[in-house]
A = this chain, B = another copy of it.
Amino acid sequence: MTETRYDVVGIGNAIVDVLAHAEDAFLQEHGLAKGTMTLIDAETADRVYASMGPAVECSGGSAANTIAALASLGGRAAFVGKVRDDQLGAIFRHDIQTLGVAFNTAPAADGAPTARCLIVVTPDAQRTMQTYLGACVDLGPDDIDPDVIAAAGITYLEGYLWDPPHAKAAFVKAAQAAHQADRMVSLSLSDSFCVDRHRADFLDLVNHHVDVLFANEEEITSLYEVDSFDEALQHVRHHCQVAALTRSDKGSVVVSGDEVHVIDAAPVARVEDTTGAGDAYAGGFLHGLTRGADLAACARMGGVCAAEVISHFGARPEVPLSDLVAHEFT
C-alpha cells in the first residue's frame, strides 16, 4: 500500500450555518422537533430566516466540521463538497482552506446558491436545524477524484449525503475507490430522521461497506428500530470493524469485535451550544485512529474535541484542538 497524502478525505454537504438564539416557542411555531435536522426549500428558508433574530454566520456542514476538527488537530485533510460561486460559497472555501484543508471541488457557476443551515439554539443549548441544500444538490460522481480518495487513509462520509439526488452516486463511487485502494471507509449516520429516510440503504452500508461507523444513541437505535442503547450495541458490534457510539453527557461507547470501551464525557464548564458536537467527536476519533492511537484514546480525543465545540456558540473549534489533546500522544 502506498503512502497516504491525506489522513482523511471528507465528503459532505458544503453549508454555511446561520446561528441565532431562540426560545422554545420558536420550535413550536415552526413545527420543529428539538435537536433534529429538517430539509427545507428556498421559500421556507426565506420565511424561517425572516422570523429568526439577529444571527451569526459561520462555515458548517457535518463532514466539513469533522474535517475542520481533524485539521485543527494537525491532521492532513481534504474535503469534497459543492458550493455556488457566491459570497457564502467564498466564506465556506476560505474557512476550510485556511485550516490547511485541500478543497478543490469546482463551485457551481449557476443554479441554486450556496447551502444554508438555519440553526436556532434554545436556552438549554440544544440546536435545531433547518437546511436549505442549495448548490449541494449539484454534487455528483464527477466531483469525486479517485486519485484523491486513494491518497487518503480514510474516506469519511456523512449520512446526510443520501438527501441530495446525485450525492449518493458520488458516495458509492468514493467508497468503491477507497476499498480498491485498500483504504478505510467511515460513515456518520448524521441524524435519526435521516436514518428514517434511508434505513435500508444505511443498513446495507453498515453491513457491507463501512469500516468505521459513527452514530449517536438516537441514530443507532433508529437504525435497528430497537428501544434501548444496549440492544443497538448488540446489533452493531459484529457488523463494522469499529463503531463509535456517542451518548451526549454519558460519553461514548466504542466496539470493535470483542473489544469494548466505555469512555466518560470530557468535562465542560458550561454547555453553550451543542451544534457540531458529534462532528467534532468524529474528527478527534479519526485523528487518533490515523495516528495509531488505541481505540480508548481515540474516544477520549473525540470527547475532548466535542467538549471544546459545545463550550461556545458555533460548530467549529475556536482554539487549535492540537493544544488540547497533546497529552494523548506523549
- A interface residues with partner B (beta carbon < 8 Å): 21, 49-50, 52-59, 68, 86-88, 91, 94-96, 98-99, 113, 313-314, 316, 318
Question: Do B57 and A98 touch across chains, with their CB atoms under 8 A apart?
Answer: no
Residues of B contacting A91 with CB < 8 Å? 55, 57
Residues of B contacting A96 with CB < 8 Å? 54
Beta-carbon nearest neighbor of A55 in chain B:
B95
Residues of B contacting A53 with CB < 8 Å? 98-99
Inter-chain CA distance A49–B86, complex, in Å, is 16
Inter-chain CA distance A86–B88, complex, in Å, is 10
Question: Do A87 and B113 touch across chains, with their CB atoms under 8 A apart?
Answer: yes
Beta-carbon nearest neighbor of A57 in chain B:
B57
Given known A49-B94, A87-B87, A88-B87, contact A56–B57 (CB-CB < 8 A): yes
Question: Do B95 and A54 touch across chains, with their CB atoms under 8 A apart?
Answer: yes
Inter-chain CA distance A94–B95, complex, in Å, is 23
Inter-chain CA distance A146–B98, complex, in Å, is 46
Question: Do B54 and A59 touch across chains, with their CB atoms under 8 A apart?
Answer: yes
Residues of B contacting A314 with CB < 8 Å? 56
CB distance from A315 to the nearest CB of B (A): 11
Question: Do B94 and A55 touch across chains, with their CB atoms under 8 A apart?
Answer: yes
Residues of B contacting A313 with CB < 8 Å? 318
Inter-chain CA distance A95–B54, complex, in Å, is 4
CB distance from A269 to the nearest CB of B (A): 12
